[in-house]
Amino acid sequence: MTVSNDLIDRLRRYVAEPTWDTYLDDDLAKYIERYPIRDASGNEPSSTSWVANYDLMNAASEIWFEKAATVAADFRFTADGATFNRDQVYEQYMKMYRTYKARGSASSSRIIISPTPLADNAWTGNLSEENSGYCV
């Protein structure tokens, strides 16, 4: 899969990283490729006729979460009569994370019940005969 430069540039703007100091284009392309979605024709990413389409909002949310982790240890302190609220950076990064996560495509998972439930007429060994529905 090849991610277009246009998508990389858009993601770079979404995450406020205008330079290549922190994230190279190849790095951003890897984030984008983690979030393939259906194309305009409804083809799934696993389909051979799928046209590359990605969820940039979820990619951006992952980067904002990563950025928040880098400043999570920052804290408020007072020195020389001035108060420094360094934790506000973390709060802002998490706000951006939540904003982009909320705008991302919804995902779903298939749940398989195991073991399979018993049929309605199955014998249940722990009920008395009068409550089991089978009286002799």
* pLDDT value of residue 121: 63
CA–CA gap between residue 94 and residue 68 (Å, rounded): 6
Range list of H helices, the chain = 5-14, 25-33, 56-70, 87-103, 129-132
- Convert the pLDDT of each residue in 74-119 to its tens digit: 777 777 888 777 778 899 999 999 999 999 988 766 777 777 766 6
Measured between alpha carbons, how far is residue 31 from residues 56, 130, 133 in Å?
Answer: 9, 61, 58
- In a domain, residue 112? The reply is no
- In a domain, residue 115? The reply is no
- In a domain, residue 43? The reply is yes
- Is 70 exceeded by the pLDDT of residue 129? no
Helix 56-70 and helix 87-103, axial crossing angle in degrees, nearest 10 = 160
- Is 60 exceeded by the pLDDT of residue 6? yes
- Is 60 exceeded by the pLDDT of residue 133? no
- In a domain, residue 126? The reply is no
Beta strand 82-85 with 76-79 is: antiparallel
Confidence of residue 126 (pLDDT cuts 50, 70, 90): low
Range of the domain at 52: 5-105
* pLDDT value of residue 73: 80
- Is 90 exceeded by the pLDDT of residue 23? yes
- In a domain, residue 111? The reply is no
Which of the 8 DSSP states describes residue 36?
A: B
- Convert the pLDDT of each residue in 31-65 to its tens digit: 999 999 999 999 999 999 999 999 999 999 999 99
* pLDDT value of residue 24: 95
Which of the 8 DSSP states describes residue 104?
A: S
Answer positive or negative: Cα dihedral of 10, 12, 15, 19: negative
- Give how many domains the chain has, as a whole number: 1
H or E element that contains 79: strand 76-79
